[in-house]
């Protein structure tokens, strides 16, 4: 009996520790926390909320300042293999729009990223962006691209990542592009209703 108990205890001690499921965030400077501390950015706050709620998830934030949908697409395969995420949040496109890149290419990249993530077994959420009105018809087509992709792919969508802070200059840094730390909890609260159902 003692030998059996010893062998059982030895087996348990060699089993790997239970690993939390991963939420992978693929974004640009708006998710990387440009101009603020990384732990203040909304993906870090998401990780803290998950921990506070005792939900078995961790957050891997692979957002890079200046990233485009093409860059995200090129990095996604390796990220999926490394992190094996249960959920992928795609928050890219802002830099494509600000640079006036071809929207057909942006849509192709986002569609490909959704397909890649789903093929890996992950659930996907998409975060859209908007451009200033001075971009003319391009701005309208840009905004509609995210809606069209989400409908076609049946993907949960945050139509405009910065919706709760966009109209208030006090929530932005001096460049008028990047949110300050005080804006990040509001962004998280805006994103949470789209992410939360994917946790179940």
- Distance between CA 75 and CA 65 in Å, rounded? 14
Neighbours of 89 (CB within 10 A): 29
Give the pLDDT score at 185: 98
- Distance between CA 65 and CA 133 in Å, rounded? 23
Give the pLDDT score at 146: 98
Give the pLDDT score at 200: 83
Side-chain half-sphere CA neighbours of 130 within 13 A: 14
Give the pLDDT score at 20: 85
Domains (range + CATH), the chain: 19-199 (3.40.50.1110)
Flag whether the pTM goes above 0.75. yes
- Would you say the C-alpha torsion 65, 187, 163, 166 has a positive or negative sign? negative
Q: Which two tokens stand for residue 1?
A: 């009996």
Query: 179 forms bridges with which residues in the sheet?
Result: 172
- Distance between CA 195 and CA 53 in Å, rounded? 14
Catalytic positions: 29, 175, 178
Digitized pLDDT (tens) for each residue of the chain, 200 residues in all: 444 433 334 444 433 444 689 999 999 999 999 999 999 999 999 999 999 999 999 999 999 999 999 999 999 999 999 999 999 999 999 999 999 999 999 999 999 999 999 999 999 999 999 999 999 999 999 999 999 999 999 999 999 999 999 999 999 999 999 999 999 999 999 999 999 999 98
Burial of 166 (0-12, 13-18, 19+ CB in 10 A): middle
């Amino acid at each position: 009996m003692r030998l059996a108990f010893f062998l059982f205890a030895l087996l348990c001690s060699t089993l790997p520790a239970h690993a939390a499921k991963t939420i992978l965030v693929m974004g640009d400077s708006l998710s990387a926390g440009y101009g603020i501390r990384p732990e203040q950015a909304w993906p870090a706050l998401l990780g803290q909320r998950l921990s506070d709620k005792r939900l078995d998830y961790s957050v891997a934030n692979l957002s890079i300042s200046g990233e485009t949908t093409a860059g995200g697409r090129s990095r996604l395969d390796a990220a999926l293999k490394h992190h094996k995420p249960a959920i992928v949040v795609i928050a890219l496109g802002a830099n494509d729009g600000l640079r006036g890149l071809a929207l057909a290419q942006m849509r192709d990249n986002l569609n490909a990223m959704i397909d890649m993530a789903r093929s890996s077994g992950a659930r996907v959420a998409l975060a859209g962006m908007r451009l200033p009105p001075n971009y003319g018809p391009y701005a309208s087509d840009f905004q509609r691209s995210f809606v069209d992709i989400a409908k076609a792919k049946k993907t949960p969508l945050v139509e405009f990542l910065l919706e709760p802070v966009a109209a208030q200059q006090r929530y932005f840094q001096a460049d008028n592009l990047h949110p300050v730390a005080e804006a990040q909890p509001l962004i998280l609260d805006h994103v949470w209703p789209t992410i939360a159902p994917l946790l179940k």
